[in-house]
Amino acid sequence: MKSSESLLQTASLEEIKRGYLEAASIFTCVCCGYRTEAGIIYPEEGVLYEAERYMRVHIEKAHGSVFEYLLELDKSVTGLSDVQRGLLGQFYEGKKDSEVQKALGIGSASTIRNHRFVLKEKERQAKIFLALMELLKSKDTHAPAELVSPITRHVQTINRAQFDISEQDREKVLNKYFPEGTNGTLTTFHMQQKHKYIVLTEIIKRFEPKQKYTEKQVNELLKQVYGDYVELRRYLIDFGLMVREEDGSQYWLTNAEGQDGTGKKRGRKATRTEKEAEEGEGEEMNRRKELQEQAKEIKTEAGVYQIRNERNGKVFLDSTLNLRTLNGQKFMLQMGSHRNRQLQAEWNEYGDDAFVIEVLEKLKKEDSPYFNPKDALAKLLQHWFEQLEPYGDQGYHGDKKQSNE
C-alpha cells in the first residue's frame, strides 16, 4: 500500500480536491491511505453506505475535510505563511472581513481585503506555473519520471523546559487573554511562546483525558475557543500537550508522566513499527471480512423513491436495490455532488429543509427462478415516471420529449 505522502504527490488536482483515488474498484483516501472496496456495504451510525459514499463519510469524520487536512501541511509543501494559513481557514468558514479581523486580531478589515487580493494573485500565478510545467513535460526529456519527497504536516518542536512560570504569571496571562473567563473565548493567539504555553495548558482542560478524538471533534472544541483553530491544534502538538496518529485520524492528550499514552515520550511523533503495521493490515482484513459477512446477513429492500421540493412541488425520481442507502442521496446533496445538477442547484438555493425523501413503492419479490430484480425495478421506475411525469416545471428530469428520445 502506498503511503499517504506518495498518494498525495502522485494524485491529480481533481483527485486531491475530492479526497480519494479510484482504481480497480478500490477507493483510497489521499489524506491517510484508508481504503474502501466496491461491493462491500459499510455501516455507520445505523446507515449503510456503498464504498464510494462511505469514503466521503470517512474523510469528513477523520479529517473534517480535505481542505482542513491540506491546510495543516508544512509550509515547505503549501508555501503558506502562518498568517495566510489562518486567513484561509477563516475564509473557508465563510467569514466576513470584519469577522476575520476580529477572530485573528490582525490589522483592520481593509488589511484582510488586501490579503484576499494577495491570495488571489497567488492562485493566478499557480495556474500559470502549472500550465508551464504541463507544457514542459513533453519537452524536458532529462527530467526524472517521478519526484517524491516527504510531505509532512506542520511540526515545530518546542522546548517547554525553558519556561519558568509562577502562579502569578499564569493568572495574569489568563486574565489578559480570556477576559470573559477561561471558559470563554480567546482574544488573540499572537503572543510570546511562554504565554502561548500558559494559554494552551488551560485550553486542554476542555478535553477528556484518555479519550481519543477525531480531527473534526478536536476542531469543533477549539472553534469555541478561537477562530484559527488550526493554529491552536498545531501548537498543542508542537508543545507535546496532545498527540495524534500520523494520518491525523485520532488525537489524544498526553498523560501527566510526560508520555503520550502509548509509552512514548512527549514531543516525539507516534510512529508505527513494522509489527504494528502488519497487525494493522491484519485488522483491516478482518474488518473487511466482518463487513462482508454483515452485508450477507442484512436483508435489503429495493424500491422507487422521490426527492420532493416542498416549496414548488418538483420531484426527482429514481430507484435503488437497497432503500437503506437513501441517506446517501441527502449526503451527496449536502456535499454538492449529486449527479442531477438541476436538483443540486435548487437544493443549494432553498436549503435541505425544503426537501423530503420519500419511498414511493417497494419492489415485491417473486419466488421464481426467472425473476430479475433489476429488470423488475426498472419497470417499476418507468411506471412511476409515467404516473408523475416529473418533467419541466413538475420535476428535475428536463423536457419530457427530450428524455424519451
Domain borders along the chain are 1-63+273-298, 64-149, 160-267, 303-404
Q: If we measure between CA atoms, which residue out of 59, 127, 115, 53 comes closest to residue 88? A: 115
Grid cell for residue 219: 476542531
Rounded to whole angstroms, the Cα distance separating 52 from 325 reads 12
Q: Do 290 and 302 contact (CB within 8 A), yes or no?
A: no
Q: Do 202 and 182 contact (CB within 8 A), yes or no?
A: yes
The answer to whether 160-267 and 303-404 have equal CATH topology is no
Q: Cell numbers 425544503 correspond to what residue?
A: 354
pLDDT value of residue 333: 84
Grid cell for residue 170: 499564569
Cβ atoms < 10 Å from Cβ of 44:
13
What is the identity of the amino acid at 362? K
CA dihedral (235, 237, 241, 247) positive or negative: positive
Q: Is the pTM of this model over 0.85?
A: no
pLDDT value of residue 143: 65
Grid cell for residue 154: 506542520
Cβ atoms < 10 Å from Cβ of 220:
13
Rounded to whole angstroms, the Cα distance separating 107 from 340 reads 44
- Residue by residue, pLDDT tens for the chain (405 residues) are 454 556 777 888 889 889 999 988 899 988 888 889 988 888 877 788 888 999 988 888 777 788 888 887 777 778 888 788 888 888 888 888 888 888 777 778 888 888 888 888 888 898 898 888 888 877 777 666 554 444 555 545 555 555 677 888 889 999 988 998 888 889 888 777 788 889 999 999 989 888 889 888 888 899 889 888 888 888 888 888 888 887 677 899 886 433 444 444 444 344 445 555 555 556 656 656 665 565 555 567 899 999 999 999 999 999 988 887 777 788 778 777 788 989 999 998 998 889 999 999 999 988 888 888 889 999 999 999 999 999 999 999 987 765 554
Q: Which CATH class is domain 303-404?
A: alpha beta
pLDDT value of residue 296: 52
pLDDT value of residue 271: 44
- The per-residue DSSP string of 102-148 comes to HHHT-S-HHHHHHHHHHHHHHHHHHHHHHHHHHHHHTT-TTS-S---
What is 160-267's CATH number, 1.10.3470, 1.10.287, 2.40.50, 1.10.10?
Answer: 1.10.10
